[in-house]
Structure 1
Amino acid sequence: MAGNPLNTNRPLRIIIVGAGASGLLMGYKLQRNFDDLDFQIYEKNPDVGGTWYENRYPGCACDNPSHTYVWSFDPNPKWSSTYASSTEIFEYFKRFQFRSNLGEKTKVSHQVVGAKWDDWAGKWNVEIKDVARNVVVNDSCDVFVNAGGILNAWKWPAIPGLHDFKGKLVHSAAWEKDLDIRGKHVGLIGNGSSGIQILPAILPQVSECTTFIREPSWVALSGVAGFEPRKFSQEEKEKFARNPNHLLRFRRSLEHNTNKIFPIFLANSTAQQQSRELFRSSMQDALKDPALEEQLIPKWDVGCRRLTPGVGYIEALKDQKTKVVYGEIARVSPNGCIMEDGNEYPVDVLVCATGFDTTFKPRFPLIGPHGRELADDWKDEPRSYMGVTTHGYPNYYMLLGPNSPIGNGPVLIGIEAQADYVCKHIKKIQQQGVKSIEVTKDAVDEFIEFKDRFMKGTVWEQDCRSWYKGNTADGKIVALWPGSTIHYVEALQNIRWEDYKIRCYGNRFDYFGNGMTKIEMIPDADLAHYVRNEDDAPIIGSKFTYVKAPPEQTSMNVFDTDSRDDKMAKL
């Protein structure tokens, strides 16, 4: 690079695993931010969308308000309701792919099956299975981004005899399009997010439903401003489309309140005490059954497990067609489920709403320069650095890696922060002659130590079984960030380069080149662009500034009891 001006690009190739929300966003960011860069997205499914392509069970919907489940720069005025269906969300990301011209850069039905680091070349050699042709093809890249997601590797529950069941056995994440449950007796295992959505959705079709509940769970019913489940009127949707500023104010209000909720996750906080009382009283009012209250209302704090809007769930539990069976399933017989007390509950169809493999291990062998696999390194605990990188695997980045803010507040803005963080690394690799960037072991160890210490003061540490803790009740919290979502976004804005080992192809200053910059090589470029009448530069030191929230945002308290119409009128 000695004969080139400062900040000259070297051509780079990037491979992205997965065309779900994260992978599509990463592709968009690469197109927007870089020249002289080629990338390819490989997606194992026949279409994009990730979890929103795969999960189509009855009642499947987002558990975040739909107007917060968009990219910060890409609103959708057409959402039908507070909690959009999986079909609507899939269509949103499909439109995003189309508008961002990512079709040519996305190969569907192509599953990454292996990746190995070539230390001499400074590249990842990647194996991809062409699913349609059943052949393995090879590719290589300078930077490897795993956007394969968390909730997309479903698994059967570890119940003895499960596959001895002679009726129809189905997992919620692999729901068959033509599955006929009309007039059938359905057994439903699980009362997490999926189970809570499935029960009220299938009840009108089935003859009866036996729901097997192992543990209690908080069900969000009311009380959080703007989060009430409802349909948007045609008039509201037309106003959102006609008046982008009106929609922007509405989105900011929801996002503001979503961020304000974070203190409920701090054990013994006032917000936690208020929310616990609110949730307990609302569930008691809805259940009006001491036996169900004892079985379904948790002893642990609100938020220890992921909160799910329980649209119609409590009513479905009390329906005459529903039988609630509480406790552990000892085994599954050819006819149905046998509980620990020996009682058998025969069913025609058995639905397992029992979750995913949330170990965070790659779904393929990922081999670093030392010859080890990341899955082996993470066999006891996934150890990431800020949810994005990990020691021992240079030029390897994760979106929604371990300890990302997936339950701390708004979700998609955290993914945006991660994609921007990765882009800053790619810029350094491209313009400064960098061969590899790898986070140090000390940095990972100290991050994990801080995270574990922080979590001791949160509700997530309490004795509830959660996928945040690898589907255990007492394990380490491996899924969540130690702080709020806004905390995470700000933490990732400035890269701690001191936490990374950086290797260059030659002298680390070779990128200084010929003593000139790229802009100086352009005949009509403004070489005095920095001259101005006033200092309007952003603050670069520790001087604190903030944007004050407008009245329409702060007037909607998260535990406000005003009517929805009063709140909407304020907007």
Structure 2
Amino acid sequence: MADFIVPSTSRPETDAEHRLQGPIHAQRHVRVICIGAGASGLLLAYKLQRHFSNISLTVYEKNPEVSGTWWENRYPGCACDVPSHNYTWSFEPKLDWSAVYASSREIFQYFNAFARKYGLHNYVKVQHQVTGAYWNHQKGGYNVTIKDLKTGQEISHHCDVLVNASGILNNWRWPAIPGLDKYKGTLLHTANWDDNVNLNGRHVGLIGNGSSGIQVLPTIQPNVSKVTAFIREPTWVSPVQGLEQHVFSDQERLEFATKPGVLLEYRRNVERGLNGQFGIFLKGTNTNNETEAYMKSQMQERLHNPYLEERLIPNWHVGCRRLTPGVGYLEALGKENVEVVYGEITRITEKGCVCDNGNEYPVDVLICATGFDTSFKPRFPVVGPNGKNLQDVWKEEAQSYLGVAAAEFPNYLIFLGPNCPIGNGPVLSAIECQADYMLKLIDRFQTNNISQFSPKQEAIDDFIAHKDQFMQKTVWNDACRSWYKGRPDGPVTALWPGSTLHYIEAMMEVRLDDWEVKYNGNRFAWLGNGYSQTELDPTADWAFYVRDKDDDEPLSRGRKLQLVNRSGTMSRNVGVNFTGKRDTGESKAIAPKI
């Protein structure tokens, strides 16, 4: 075998020239920076470590610990609204979850243990906050500025590929209510919780009835003297039939840990159920109609209060806002020490809240369960080759390519970007397919003399047009106030136009015709010096393609999918709504044409 030739010249080589000295698809060194060590950032680190060589990775995390939102959110009752055994990576189950809906502390422990198990902390710099990313016109890639939060020092780091994994439900915000700074009591935000505050025996005000507020109220209600719950709009709240909160017994956890296949089948059954509920989000389907009737009756039964029923049960479709399993929330609203104030808070005083009914409600502690900035704009400047800042480009409406990239911002990838399936079904499986998609792009960048890759604007325009048309038939398009869109009558910017399974299939292959790719020199420099990678490996079989039968992997998309999804191994699947009834697909809105 020929030696790897190093030319004797002092002139810096281009990537194309260097490739001519090596074999086909030589793996050049690639520098990757990832912003955020939450679930997405940790998964990227795991997959890069497992699948790649000759890559350097640095993950910058602003918090003192990894796990992102699950380290940050520690408020009373904080939990995930996805069944815990299915809020794990598909390949990394946890055997000993305490309950169906596990606490945020337990979820933090899962992701932190995942990072420890695979040595991912080696890539992470905690208490380092990215403050900007600027395209480098000489070298390509980005110059990233970072602030060391321990020392206050500003540093700079260059990368070939920049991945933003900072998340969407992460940048918490105070409510925009006049006078908030004048309040003299204890002020708390659910996403910035102070563990030193003792609520026992105190009068607590709770602003908001989103996911956080729904979890907080039943947790604190038994221990406080009184809760004044400020609610400005209705929302659908009900436990999911068959997946109510359940604490796993020692025997159940033992069987999960010791009996082969028991936990796997349990996880698959839950996932099948979650994936079978997409019809809930489509107007006119049996699933949506029956779920809405069921949840209305359940709310009426739990509230048992005509005043609250009239104000809290929405007139828009189930699913327009994120559905939350409200374990004990509706019952807590009817407790003797809970007062519900329905309407807008007009201002906050030193003592408490003044509402649009003219009354002031003094409280000892004011909890703001008021959510996050979900505009999708980066929290720092991201400046591309043309000098544009993505913060400005996405100021009015964030438009991405399949939730992972933006036009005219090459070599920049995004986890959970605009219009990805963050509320369509199981979210961690969607993150996994995003990571796989990114790795396919990085692999092509590493093994070809590519200098830039970014989605074409025309591809994004077509995707947005398709998305907007599709959303017309979904409940998300109703005029409810939801973080899925910037305003009640605005376009749906957060969600994918389809199910999670639909997204997974859409992301299985990179459609390079949708991407603008630029090369250093001749695009065929990747062919190299004529030698294959196989000839460089003395342990490889240099006649690997000679066989006695055809055992090739499927070449068509359809056959590949049947292999991946284990087609033929299940009896007929049908959608299931929250009532436990099976959707037969009678609605023309979802009936597939084969």
Same fold? TM cut 0.5: yes
Q: Return the alpha-carbon distance in structure 1 between the equivalents of residues 219 and 440 of structure 2.
A: 44
CA deviation string 1:236-268 (max 9, x = no partner) = 111111124111000000001000011110011
Count of aligned residue pairs for this structure pair: 559
Does structure 2 retain, via aligned residues, the 8 Å contact 1:253–1:552? no
Q: Return the alpha-carbon distance in structure 2 between the equivalents of residues 44 and 426 of structure 1.
A: 25
Does structure 1 retain, via aligned residues, the 8 Å contact 2:449–2:520? yes
Does structure 1 retain, via aligned residues, the 8 Å contact 2:279–2:575? no
Q: Which residue of 1 aligns with 2:534?
A: 519
Q: Secondary structure at the match of 1:119?
A: coil
CA deviation string 1:14-51 (max 9, x = no partner) = 00000000000001111111111110111000000100
Q: How do 1:474-553 residues align onto structure 2 when only pairs under 5 Å count?
A: 474-543=489-558, 545=562, 547-548=566-567
Does structure 1 retain, via aligned residues, the 8 Å contact 2:290–2:579? no
Q: 1:417 to 1:555 in 2, by over 3 A?
A: closer
Q: CA deviation at 1:296?
A: 1.0
Q: Which residue of 2 aligns with 1:149?
A: 167
Q: Return the alpha-carbon distance in structure 1 between the equivalents of residues 568 and 142 of structure 2.
A: 45
1:418 aligns with 2:418: no
Higher mean alpha-carbon deviation, 519-528 vs 415-424, is at 519-528
Q: Which residue of 1 aligns with 2:330?
A: 314
Q: Secondary structure at the match of 2:122?
A: coil
Does structure 2 retain, via aligned residues, the 8 Å contact 1:454–1:482? yes
Q: Return the alpha-carbon distance in structure 2 between the equivalents of residues 84 and 117 of structure 1.
A: 42
Q: Which residue of 2 aligns with 1:242?
A: 258
Q: 1:108 to 1:289 in 2, by over 3 A?
A: same
The code of the aligned residue for 1:528 comes to: A
The code of the aligned residue for 1:445 comes to: D
CA deviation string 1:164-212 (max 9, x = no partner) = 1111111111110101211111000000000000000111221000001
Q: Return the alpha-carbon distance in structure 2 between the equivalents of residues 349 and 415 of structure 1.
A: 37
The code of the aligned residue for 2:370 comes to: T
Q: Return the alpha-carbon distance in structure 2 between the equivalents of residues 289 and 414 of structure 1.
A: 40
Superposition TM-score, scaled by structure 2 size: 0.92
Q: How do 1:273-288 residues align onto structure 2 when only pairs under 5 Å count?
A: 273-288=289-304
Q: Which residue of 1 aligns with 2:9?
A: none
Does structure 2 retain, via aligned residues, the 8 Å contact 1:68–1:255? yes
| Aligned pair partner of 2:191 in 155, 158, 173 | 173
Q: Which residue of 2 aligns with 1:461?
A: 477
Q: Which residue of 1 aligns with 2:129?
A: 111
Q: Return the alpha-carbon distance in structure 1 between the equivalents of residues 269 and 577 of structure 2.
A: 11
Higher mean alpha-carbon deviation, 70-79 vs 525-534, is at 525-534
The code of the aligned residue for 1:233 comes to: S
Q: Which residue of 2 aligns with 1:2?
A: 20
Q: Return the alpha-carbon distance in structure 2 between the equivalents of residues 468 and 273 of structure 1.
A: 21
Q: How do 1:68-107 residues align onto structure 2 when only pairs under 5 Å count?
A: 68-107=86-125
Q: CA deviation at 1:528?
A: 2.1
Does structure 2 retain, via aligned residues, the 8 Å contact 1:221–1:283? no
**Identity, % of aligned pairs?**
51
Q: Secondary structure at the match of 1:469?
A: coil
Q: Return the alpha-carbon distance in structure 1 between the equivalents of residues 363 and 258 of structure 2.
A: 51
Q: Return the alpha-carbon distance in structure 1 between the equivalents of residues 184 and 236 of structure 2.
A: 33
Q: Which residue of 2 aligns with 1:350?
A: 366
Q: CA deviation at 1:160?
A: 1.2
Q: Return the alpha-carbon distance in structure 1 between the equivalents of residues 494 and 188 of structure 2.
A: 27
Does structure 2 retain, via aligned residues, the 8 Å contact 1:67–1:76? yes
Q: Secondary structure at the match of 1:359?
A: coil
Does structure 1 retain, via aligned residues, the 8 Å contact 2:287–2:577? no
1:473 aligns with 2:453: no
Does structure 1 retain, via aligned residues, the 8 Å contact 2:294–2:579? no
CA deviation string 1:64-116 (max 9, x = no partner) = 11111000100011111111100000000001101111111111001111110
Q: Return the alpha-carbon distance in structure 1 between the equivalents of residues 111 and 377 of structure 2.
A: 25
Does structure 2 retain, via aligned residues, the 8 Å contact 1:115–1:126? yes
1:442 aligns with 2:461: no
The code of the aligned residue for 2:151 comes to: R
Q: 1:533 to 1:250 in 2, by over 3 A?
A: farther
Q: Return the alpha-carbon distance in structure 2 between the equivalents of residues 240 and 458 of structure 1.
A: 38
Q: Return the alpha-carbon distance in structure 2 between the equivalents of residues 549 and 168 of structure 1.
A: 59
Q: 1:495 to 1:265 in 2, by over 3 A?
A: same
Q: CA deviation at 1:344?
A: 1.1
Q: Which residue of 2 aligns with 1:51?
A: 69
Does structure 1 retain, via aligned residues, the 8 Å contact 2:170–2:372? yes
1:217 aligns with 2:250: no
Does structure 2 retain, via aligned residues, the 8 Å contact 1:336–1:344? yes
Q: Which residue of 1 aligns with 2:586?
A: none
Does structure 2 retain, via aligned residues, the 8 Å contact 1:169–1:350? yes
The code of the aligned residue for 2:411 comes to: N
Q: Which residue of 1 aligns with 2:52?
A: 34
Superposition TM-score, scaled by structure 1 size: 0.95
The code of the aligned residue for 1:535 comes to: D
Q: CA deviation at 1:549?
A: 7.4
The code of the aligned residue for 1:318 comes to: G
CA deviation string 1:477-533 (max 9, x = no partner) = 111011000110110111110111111111000010112211112223102223333
Q: Return the alpha-carbon distance in structure 1 between the equivalents of residues 122 and 135 of structure 2.
A: 26
Q: Which residue of 2 aligns with 1:565?
A: none
Q: Secondary structure at the match of 1:219?
A: coil
Q: Return the alpha-carbon distance in structure 2 between the equivalents of residues 494 and 543 of structure 1.
A: 12
Q: CA deviation at 1:541?
A: 2.0
The code of the aligned residue for 2:282 comes to: L
The code of the aligned residue for 2:116 comes to: F
Higher mean alpha-carbon deviation, 51-60 vs 155-164, is at 155-164
Does structure 1 retain, via aligned residues, the 8 Å contact 2:291–2:577? no
1:427 aligns with 2:443: yes
Q: Which residue of 1 aligns with 2:467?
A: 451
Q: Return the alpha-carbon distance in structure 1 between the equivalents of residues 45 and 271 of structure 2.
A: 25
Q: Which residue of 1 aligns with 2:343?
A: 327
1:394 aligns with 2:407: no
The code of the aligned residue for 1:73 comes to: F
1:336 aligns with 2:352: yes
Higher mean alpha-carbon deviation, 15-24 vs 334-343, is at 334-343
Q: Secondary structure at the match of 1:308?
A: coil
Q: Return the alpha-carbon distance in structure 1 between the equivalents of residues 180 and 558 of structure 2.
A: 61
Q: CA deviation at 1:287?
A: 1.4
The code of the aligned residue for 2:146 comes to: I
The code of the aligned residue for 1:427 comes to: D
Q: Secondary structure at the match of 2:392?
A: helix
1:138 aligns with 2:156: yes
Q: 1:465 to 1:101 in 2, by over 3 A?
A: same
- CA-based RMSD of the aligned residues comes to 1.6
Q: Return the alpha-carbon distance in structure 2 between the equivalents of residues 360 and 13 of structure 1.
A: 25
The code of the aligned residue for 1:494 comes to: E
Q: Which residue of 2 aligns with 1:567?
A: none
Higher mean alpha-carbon deviation, 516-525 vs 346-355, is at 516-525
Q: CA deviation at 1:159?
A: 0.9
| Aligned pair partner of 1:369 in 378, 381, 385 | 385
Q: CA deviation at 1:123?
A: 1.8
Q: Secondary structure at the match of 2:387?
A: coil
Does structure 2 retain, via aligned residues, the 8 Å contact 1:222–1:282? no
Q: CA deviation at 1:553?
A: 9.8
Q: Secondary structure at the match of 2:158?
A: strand
**Structure 1: which 5+ runs fail to align?**
563-571
Q: CA deviation at 1:398?
A: 0.3
Q: Secondary structure at the match of 2:340?
A: strand
Q: CA deviation at 1:554?
A: 5.4
The code of the aligned residue for 1:26 comes to: L
Q: Secondary structure at the match of 2:40?
A: helix
Does structure 2 retain, via aligned residues, the 8 Å contact 1:256–1:553? no
1:125 aligns with 2:159: no
Q: Return the alpha-carbon distance in structure 2 between the equivalents of residues 346 and 46 of structure 1.
A: 36
Q: Secondary structure at the match of 2:274?
A: helix
Q: Return the alpha-carbon distance in structure 2 between the equivalents of residues 523 and 176 of structure 1.
A: 60
Q: Which residue of 2 aligns with 1:385?
A: 401
